[in-house]
């Protein structure tokens, strides 16, 4: 196989695992794009040859791919970043470049007590459920800075505690939404069961909000913590991307290897 030139849409633990795997097993040049410096630094440490640490418009992605003769586009963004995946589909068609979507497996919840789990179709709906059933209770938001605003349409900031990456963009969003400084919980990486329990107790939380972001996103530890403390956990289900051909999806590195065999 010739040296593969890969454009990787990253910013997730999945993407850093892919970079390490590709560098170990293939002759590759990898350009990784992330939305933050934090994500770009992780990509560099994993072996990415080049990184771009800012959100890119579709026209910018197309220009980079067309001007640099890439062989493959890999979308390893978060399951909830559906707009990025839709963009990658359009880019693949316009640039006539093969696309692989690396999709982290959804949880089956086998042998997990889900009796305290409540599903919601959106973060705004999660906020409405809290306003209806837990209006005076403290809420732990474990779903990222980009989703806070939708919840806060129906939940008071005085009851809202959010765990976010300690990066400038996320801190600015908290300030814009007038979230008190002592309600902001900085983090790096996935929290353990013990850490989740500690936060529930510290903030006297009665509700957790999370995404269905798979095992790698620490969802099991969040459910276990809610069970341990007998509180509600509201889970927003993954968006369905109708434009995505299922034949383009891989769920692990072995399936990625099989796809790469067909890349010229």
What DSSP letter does each residue of 160-220 carry, written as one string? EEEEEE-SHHHHHHHHHTT--GGGEEEE-SPPPHHHHHHHHHHTTEEEEEEE---GGGTHH
- Do 81 and 169 reside in the same domain of the chain? no
Tens-digit pLDDT profile for residues 231-245:
999 999 887 787 888
Task: Residue 231: give its domain's CATH number.
Answer: 3.40.50.20
193 in a domain, yes or no?
yes
Tens-digit pLDDT profile for residues 101-122:
998 877 777 788 999 999 999 9
203 in a domain, yes or no?
yes
- Do 225 and 122 reside in the same domain of the chain? yes
110 in a domain, yes or no?
no
pTM of the model: 0.76
- Do 250 and 172 reside in the same domain of the chain? no
For the cut 70, the answer to whether the pLDDT of residue 1 exceeds it is: no
Tens-digit pLDDT profile for residues 140-195:
999 989 999 999 999 999 999 999 988 888 999 999 999 999 999 998 777 899 99
Q: Residue 187 has what pLDDT? A: 85
C-alpha 246/C-alpha 244 separation (Å) is: 6
Tens-digit pLDDT profile for residues 84-93:
999 999 999 9
High-pLDDT (> 70) share of the chain, %: 98
Tens-digit pLDDT profile for residues 25-50:
999 999 999 988 889 999 999 999 99
- Do 20 and 66 reside in the same domain of the chain? yes
- Do 156 and 232 reside in the same domain of the chain? yes
166 in a domain, yes or no?
yes
- Do 68 and 152 reside in the same domain of the chain? no
For the cut 70, the answer to whether the pLDDT of residue 254 exceeds it is: yes
Q: Which residues fall within 8 angstroms of residue 111, CB to CB, at 6 or more apart?
A: none
179 in a domain, yes or no?
yes
- Do 127 and 80 reside in the same domain of the chain? no
Domain residue limits at 215: 117-236
- Do 96 and 139 reside in the same domain of the chain? no
Number of structural domains in the chain: 2
Task: Residue 90: give its domain's CATH number.
Answer: 3.40.50.720
- Do 97 and 126 reside in the same domain of the chain? no
- Do 134 and 201 reside in the same domain of the chain? yes
- Do 176 and 155 reside in the same domain of the chain? yes
111 in a domain, yes or no?
no
- Do 153 and 169 reside in the same domain of the chain? yes
245 in a domain, yes or no?
yes
26 in a domain, yes or no?
yes
Q: How far is CA 168 from CA 37, 106, 171, 174, 210, in A?
A: 10, 30, 5, 10, 22
């Amino acid at each position: 196989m010739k040296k593969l030139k890969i454009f990787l849409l990253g910013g997730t633990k999945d993407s850093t695992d892919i970079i390490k795997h590709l560098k170990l097993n293939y002759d590759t040049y990898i350009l990784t794009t992330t939305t933050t410096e934090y994500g770009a630094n992780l990509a560099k440490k994993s072996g990415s040859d080049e990184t771009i640490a800012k959100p890119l418009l579709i026209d910018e992605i197309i220009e980079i791919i067309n001007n640099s003769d890439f062989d493959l586009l890999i979308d390893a963004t978060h399951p909830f970043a559906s707009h990025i995946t839709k963009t990658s589909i359009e880019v693949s068609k316009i640039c006539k470049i093969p696309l692989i979507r690396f999709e982290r497996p959804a949880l089956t919840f086998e042998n997990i007590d889900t009796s305290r789990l409540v599903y919601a179709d959106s973060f705004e709906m999660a906020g409405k459920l809290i306003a209806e059933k837990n209006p005076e209770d403290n809420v732990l938001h474990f779903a990222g800075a980009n989703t806070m605003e939708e919840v806060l349409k129906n939940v008071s900031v005085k009851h809202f505690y959010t765990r976010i990456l300690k990066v400038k963009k996320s801190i600015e969003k908290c300030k814009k939404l007038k979230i008190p400084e002592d309600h902001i919980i900085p983090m790096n990486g996935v929290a353990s069961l013990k850490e989740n329990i500690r936060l529930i107790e510290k903030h006297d939380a009665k509700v957790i909000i999370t995404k269905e972001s798979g095992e790698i996103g620490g969802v099991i530890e969040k459910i276990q913590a809610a069970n341990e403390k007998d509180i509600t956990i509201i889970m927003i289900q993954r968006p369905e991307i109708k434009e995505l051909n299922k034949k383009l999806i891989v769920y692990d590195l072995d399936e990625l290897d099989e796809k790469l065999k067909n890349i010229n």
